[in-house]
Amino acid sequence: MVKCIDKTACRFKLMASRDAMEVIQGKWKIPIIISLSFGNKRFGEIKKDIADISPKILSQELKALEMNQIISRTLFDSMPVTVEYALTPLGKSLGPLLDEVLKWGLHFRKQVVKK
Q: Where are the beta strands (DSSP E) in 21-98?
A: 41-42, 71-76, 82-87
Using DSSP, state whether 84 is helix, strand or coil: strand
As measured in angstroms, the least distance from the Cβ of 54 to its own copies is: 17
- Contact (Cβ atoms closer than 8 angstroms) between residue 63 and residue 26: no
Tell which one of 8, 9, 14, 73 touches its own copies (CB under 8 A): 14
CA distance 94 to 53: 22
As measured in angstroms, the least distance from the Cβ of 56 to DNA is: 4
CA distance 94 to 54: 25
56 touching DNA, by CB under 7 A: yes
CB of 2 or CB of 75, closer to DNA:
75
Tell which one of 55, 63, 83, 100 touches its own copies (CB under 8 A): 100
3 touching DNA, by CB under 7 A: no
As measured in angstroms, the least distance from the Cβ of 80 to DNA is: 4
| Strand arrangement, sheet containing 82-87 | 41-42, 82-87, 71-76
Report the interface residues with its own copies, using CB under 8 A: 1-4, 10, 13-21, 23-25, 27, 30-31, 34-35, 38-41, 49, 68-69, 90, 93-94, 96-98, 100-109, 111-113
